[in-house]
Amino acid sequence: MSHRRMIRASEVGEYIYCRRAWWLHQVLGEEPAGRERRERGTALHGRHGWSVRASQLLLLCGLGLAAIALLLLLL
């Protein structure tokens, strides 16, 4: 029985995008240029996502406080 290597969807996408890049990465083990830049971008996106979630939470808190203030004014 032969050992078959599983082909991942990301490999298929890489191959469709550029067969030469796929070959360089999969056969020769070369890494694409710009790795540090991509990692920095991923970190920046993560921080931005946290900021968006925090702002949504603050908005909900503000609406809740406004509702409490309105209730106190009516009582």
Establish if 37 belongs to a structural domain: yes
Establish if 1 belongs to a structural domain: no
Establish if 40 belongs to a structural domain: yes
Establish if 3 belongs to a structural domain: no
Establish if 39 belongs to a structural domain: yes
Establish if 47 belongs to a structural domain: yes
Establish if 54 belongs to a structural domain: yes
> How many domains, the chain?
1
Residue 25, C-beta contacts closer than 8 angstroms, at least 6 positions apart: 14, 31, 32
List the domain range (segments joined by +) for residue 49: 9-74
**pTM confidence score:** 0.51
Note down pLDDT in tens along the chain; length 75 residues: 567 878 888 889 889 999 998 899 888 988 878 888 888 999 999 999 999 999 999 999 999 999 999 999 998
Query: Which of 27, 30, 1, 25 shows the shortest CA–CA distance to 14?
Result: 25
Q: How many CB atoms lie within 10 A of CB 25?
A: 16
Sign of CA dihedral 15, 18, 19, 25: negative
